[in-house]
Amino acid sequence: MIKYFFFGLVVLLFFACGQPPQRNCEDFKTGKFSFTATINGEEKKTTFHRTLELEVDEYEGKVDSSSIRWINDCEYVLKNLNPKNKAEEKPIHIKILTTSESSYTFEYNIVGDNKKFKGTAKKVD
């Protein structure tokens, strides 16, 4: 009986101590990316080019720019440089959760709002 208990404990520890998610955020601080979201049942694609200080987005033929303030290697805040209304004036907090070779999964929300959304951006060559 004790033998089975220790075996179960070892198996439990093996699964509980798994590898943490990969986060090589440095690989995604700059570059060209695409992001697809479903809005009202329709897939919408955004492409954006990011430097350390600026992000330029293209969505449905419109181009917009935002400043970037990095909080740490995996989190940053975007602030629209040319807001057209009050909603666009609010900064957006983005946190990279996991990375792969060519994409990253992130969580984002309007600063001060508790409602968070998730997405995946793919690096475009």
Per-residue pLDDT at 68 exceeds 60: yes
Find the helix or strand (DSSP H, E) in which 9 lies. helix 2-16
What span, in angstroms and rounded, lies between the C-alpha atoms of 29 and 70?
Answer: 9
Tens digit of pLDDT for each residue in 6-44? 555 444 445 555 555 678 999 999 999 999 887 788 888
Q: What is the pTM of this model?
A: 0.78
Counted residue by residue, the chain has a size of: 125
For residue 25, the SS3 value is helix
Q: Are 118 and 98 in contact (CB under 8 A)?
A: no
